Amino acid sequence: MELLFFAYRDFTGRPDEILAEFGLGRAHHRVLYFVGRNPQINVNALLNILRITKQSLSRVLGRLVGQGYIIQHPGKKDRRQRLLELTEKGVNLEHRLFNNQQTRLARAYRLAGPSAVEGFWQVLTDIPDRPSSVKKPSEKQEES
């Protein structure tokens, strides 16, 4: 448990500092990350991923929209639907946050080796209550 705590602390440390420069926090980071990975995601789908209340998302999203990191579009079929995507400003911030974490993970993966990474992914896959649709690094390479 301690290793998981320390890994998470250091994995989020630098991004937390970057976010603090803009008066933002981890909730904003999560929204930026998932909107960045899922352009045109609707609010309900984002709520399902994050497992938070509409009220919580509304606060976070309102700030990100207000500060120009995210833009909302009406749905093509259902105009009541709100589709979310990062603005250029949002993309730039999300890349700063993501690149820091990606560099840290890539280093750890390189040091651990492929079989350890496979085991790590198995552990991470087995922790959440619901299965994830996230692809393993080896699957991502095969698609490229």
Q: Structural domain of residue 49, as residue ranges?
A: 2-112
Instruction: Tell me the CATH number at 18.
Output: 1.10.10.10
Do 27 and 90 sit in the same domain of this protein?
Answer: yes
Q: Are 75 and 81 in contact (CB under 8 A)?
A: yes
Least Cα distance to 82 among 105, 119, 102, 57 occurs for: 57
Q: What is the pTM of this model?
A: 0.85
Whole-angstrom distance, CA of residue 32 vs CA of residue 98: 10
Task: Indicate whether 106 and 75 sit together in one domain.
Answer: yes
Whether residue 61 is found in the same domain as residue 35: yes
Give yes or no: residues 69 and 90 share one domain.
yes
Pick from 27, 6, 29: which is nearest to 100 by CA?
29
How does pLDDT run along the chain (144 residues), one tens digit per residue?
Answer: 899 999 999 999 999 999 999 999 999 999 999 999 999 999 999 999 999 999 999 999 999 999 999 999 988 888 888 999 999 999 999 999 999 999 999 999 999 999 999 999 999 999 888 766 666 666 655 554
Q: Are residues 92 and 141 in the same domain?
A: no
Q: How many CB atoms lie within 10 A of CB 56?
A: 12
